[in-house]
Homo-oligomer: A and B are copies of this chain.
């Protein structure tokens, strides 16, 4: 893993934010209010009373003075989740939400499958839908929200008629790299979204039958991220090799990943990385990684130069 020198973080981020188009996704000061917002949202999901919610925020406050800005935001995400678990004494607060998210998308799986198979470019449609699936977080309450996102995405010509003209969307390079790849490591993100990944992997299996694909889930419950049980529940284990990253953060922090994962990671000819959390933890890696995500926060928008709400398929 490339070591990121500290001096690039001594800048005053506010005026310079827009100039940093690429790099390791450090924590920005703007992430700090958001950490508290996330901690509060997570805690409320558990249904504990206000006094307990306040205790969680108090514990998060205590972390701030010692949290280094050169750590990636998912490192704090991991700490916050641990605090929520400890203070509320609930091991997997998002369990029901995760099950519901999976079910929501499994229910529309036949429709999505038909959409892909009837498309002029099935692989493109499956890729677009896989990114659309990244919109599913624990705020998504019903299939209407998902339908709305799918419609929006399918209505746009992200790939620039397949010639890769859209600056957020390296579709042609994505296909070319797959054409030459023997192995692909596919880093999953959220529950629900995992069913969209399944659809893309089915197309990958069709188009590139010789590629050995490994799908990666988080090791332990963290927010609404997909685990091995979700992969099995959604049938991914039937079509692809599924492993855990060994990491219990909402991202892929290489320092705490398992040896098994790191071995595959080092040797994979191509990595497909879903979601902001994986991007934040791997953005600076020199491996051939294609990041597929929706830009959901202004800090990532500023860091990458993409716009808030953009759909991204990008080799960084």
Q: Which of B13, B37, B40, B50 contacts A11 (CB 8 A)?
A: B50
Residues of B within 8 A of A40 (CB): 29-30, 32-33
* Contact flag A29-B50 (CB < 8 Å), given A61-B61, A61-B62, A62-B65: yes
The chain B residue with its CB closest to the CB of A52 is B12
- Which residues of chain A (1-19) have a CB below 8 Å from chain B? 9-14
Asked if A65 contacts B69 (CB within 8 A), the reply is no
- Which residues of chain A (143-161) have a CB below 8 Å from chain B? none
Closest Cβ–Cβ distance, residue A38 to chain B (whole Å) = 9
Q: How many of chain A's residues have a CB under 8 angstroms from any CB in B?
A: 27
Q: How many copies of this chain does the complex contain? A: 2
Alpha-carbon distance A61/B10, docked complex (angstroms): 22
Asked if B44 contacts A33 (CB within 8 A), the reply is no
Closest Cβ–Cβ distance, residue A69 to chain B (whole Å) = 7
Q: Which of B10, B37, B61, B62 contacts A50 (CB 8 A)?
A: B10
- Which residues of chain A (32-59) have a CB below 8 Å from chain B? 32-34, 36-37, 40, 44, 49-51, 53-54, 57-58
Closest Cβ–Cβ distance, residue A72 to chain B (whole Å) = 16
Residues of B within 8 A of A34 (CB): 33
Interface string of A198-218 (1 = CB under 8 A from B): 000000000000000000000
Closest Cβ–Cβ distance, residue A306 to chain B (whole Å) = 22
* A20 interface residue (CB < 8 Å to B): no
Alpha-carbon distance A69/B40, docked complex (angstroms): 15
Closest Cβ–Cβ distance, residue A255 to chain B (whole Å) = 23
Q: Which of B13, B29, B36, B44 contacts A32 (CB 8 A)?
A: B36
* A264 interface residue (CB < 8 Å to B): no
Asked if A33 contacts B29 (CB within 8 A), the reply is no
Residues of B within 8 A of A30 (CB): 40
Alpha-carbon distance A53/B32, docked complex (angstroms): 11
Asked if B69 contacts A57 (CB within 8 A), the reply is no
* A256 interface residue (CB < 8 Å to B): no
Asked if B53 contacts A29 (CB within 8 A), the reply is yes
Write 21 A-B pairs (CB below 8 A) sorted by A numbering.
A9-B50, A10-B49, A10-B50, A12-B49, A12-B50, A14-B53, A29-B50, A30-B40, A32-B36, A32-B40, A32-B57, A33-B34, A33-B36, A33-B37, A57-B64, A58-B64, A58-B65, A61-B61, A61-B64, A61-B65, A62-B65
User: Which positions in A face B, CB cutoff 8 Å?
Assistant: 9-14, 29-30, 32-34, 36-37, 40, 44, 49-51, 53-54, 57-58, 61-62, 64-65, 69
